[in-house]
Amino acid sequence: MQKKPISRVVIALVAAGTMAFSSLAAAHAHLHASVPADNAQVTSSPDALTLDFSEDIEAAFSGVTLVDSHQKPITTDKARVAADQKKQLIVGLPQPLKAGNYQVNWHVLSVDGHKTSGHYRFSVK
């Protein structure tokens, strides 16, 4: 059966509506920047990992796991949100990191109720 032009218009409108909706829903927290940065090579261990997101986040439902190049978890402090900057997650490192490669696996819940996650790597010389 041949599609009638009207059904194509409907399909196009539905597609446009879906795209408009997803761009609105995309307001959840994306990682904008971090210290150490993605792929950074730092010369000494940082005292903390700092992650800057695009939206305010809920500390209670947000956190990171830090693993070394063998996927071994590294002990960190509990993630907290900066007092004056609710878009910033801070994870203290109680022990200095040895030289090597590290991966930060992060997950956050933004205040709009959306969960996002991702990872990045850095190395300590």
Site of interaction with Cu ion (CB under 5 A): 27-28, 112, 114
- Least distance from Cu ion to the Cβ atom of residue 118, Å: 14
Separation in Å, CA 93 to CA 25, 26, 46, 50, 70 = 34, 31, 8, 11, 19
8 vs 30, beta carbon nearer Cu ion: 30
- Least distance from Cu ion to the Cβ atom of residue 23, Å: 11
86 vs 121, beta carbon nearer Cu ion: 86
| Amino acid of residue 60 | A
102 vs 106, beta carbon nearer Cu ion: 106
28 vs 87, beta carbon nearer Cu ion: 28
Point out the residue whose Cβ comes nearest to Cu ion: 28
- Least distance from Cu ion to the Cβ atom of residue 110, Å: 5
Residue 57, exposed/middle/buried by CB under 10 A (0-12, 13-18, 19+)?
buried
- Least distance from Cu ion to the Cβ atom of residue 35, Å: 24
Q: Which of 59, 61, 48 is nearest to 87 (CA)?
A: 59
Q: Which helix (H) or strand (E) holds 6?
A: helix 5-25
